[in-house]
Structure 1
Amino acid sequence: MSEKSAAIFSNPLDGVRVEAFGTNIIRMLGEASGAAMSIMEVILHPGDGTPLHLHEREDETFRVLSGTVGFWCGDKHQRLVSDGIAFLPRGIPHRIENVGDDEARLMVILTPGGFEQFFVEIASDSGEAPETIAERFGLRFL
């Protein structure tokens, strides 16, 4: 990890918007925190979510900002609404889905940082298979 040398701030309209597995707004890049963490805001329409997958490198912490989101992690399932929090550890298969009737918004904290670049690469439409990109980031679709 790199040295952290300054405070990091993100105003409400800050961030890089990336369309991949929903709308992802990268609010803090991993490189800004010395790879300690990155933060994204995710917007999911009803029925949208991620496929079953696991991360080899990152833990994910989710805070539901609005809507109703289902979390499946290993043999556990939980529906959370606004202000609910979920921690999904690396190495355990998981997925999320907007199970409500309205748009859902989540804050996602990735530790360590850097995985947010996966979404940037997926959205770049380079023609590279998503599974190949995922492999570089220690992500496995199941």
Structure 2
Amino acid sequence: MQLQQGFKSAPNAENTRAIPGAVFNFLSMGHETEGRQALIRIVVNRGSEPPAHTHSREDESYFIIKGSIRYTIGDQVITVNEGEFVYLPKDVPHSFAIQTEQAEVLMWLSPAGLDQWFWDNSVPAPDGAPLPSPAGPPPAHVIEHFVTSLREYGVEMIRN
């Protein structure tokens, strides 16, 4: 089935979800674009970054709306500030570290797919607030769930 019309989207109570330390607005999901792309607005607190990982299915791109983020992409280290864009190709290990207290970004996934993982592993947040960040590292069973479920989406966590 070919898409027959466009659509518009904005952050709202129905597309706002949270995890500890971050809030997502799902502006465009794969089920709306025939899997071509997904676009998610994310507000994330420093200290809520995931460990280094590699995507085997999608490229990731970020436009920084507010804040500053240092990305490590393979051997490359790039600091990306407000109003700047960064591209992270699939099959290249990467990580990021928020340099400000909080960052606001647009994350574009191409093709879509991983957006569903983010949706499934977050909770509704109609108030637009993140879940509280845990004190200390997550429990072992939570880490194992993320590692195993992300692997099903083609994402491999890099363990040190």
How far does residue 6 in structure 1 lie from its aligned partner after superposition? 1.5
Unaligned runs of 5+ in 1: none
- In structure 2, what is the equivalent of residue 137 of structure 1? 153
Deviations 1:28-72 (A, max 9, x none): 111111111000011111233221001110001100000111111
Does the CA-based 8 Å contact 2:60-2:88 persist in structure 1? yes
Q: Secondary structure at the match of 2:121?
A: helix
Q: TM-score, normalised by structure 2?
A: 0.78
Q: Residue type matched to 2:96 in 1?
A: I
Deviations 1:8-43 (A, max 9, x none): 211243762232373222111111111110000111
Distance in 2 separating the partners of 1:10 and 1:58: 22
Deviations 1:79-137 (A, max 9, x none): 1111110000000001122111x32100011000121111122236xx78112211111
Distance in 2 separating the partners of 1:132 and 1:121: 14
Unaligned runs of 5+ in 2: 124-141
Does the CA-based 8 Å contact 2:69-2:80 persist in structure 1? yes
Q: Residue type matched to 1:39 in 2?
A: L
Distance in 1 separating the partners of 2:51 and 2:14: 25
Q: Secondary structure at the match of 2:9?
A: coil
- In structure 1, what is the equivalent of residue 102 of structure 2? 103
Distance in 1 separating the partners of 2:157 and 2:58: 15
- Runs (4 or more) in structure 1 with deviation over 6 Å come to none
Does the CA-based 8 Å contact 1:121-1:133 persist in structure 2? no
Aligned-residue identity in percent: 20
Distance in 1 separating the partners of 2:3 and 2:97: 34
Does the CA-based 8 Å contact 1:8-1:33 persist in structure 2? no
Does the CA-based 8 Å contact 1:28-1:40 persist in structure 2? yes
Question: What are the residue-to-residue correspondences of 1:86-125 with 2, within 5 Å?
Answer: 86-100=86-100, 102-123=101-122
Q: TM-score, normalised by structure 1?
A: 0.87
Does the CA-based 8 Å contact 2:11-2:25 persist in structure 1? no
Q: Secondary structure at the match of 2:17?
A: strand
- In structure 2, what is the equivalent of residue 60 of structure 1? 60
Distance in 1 separating the partners of 2:37 and 2:13: 17
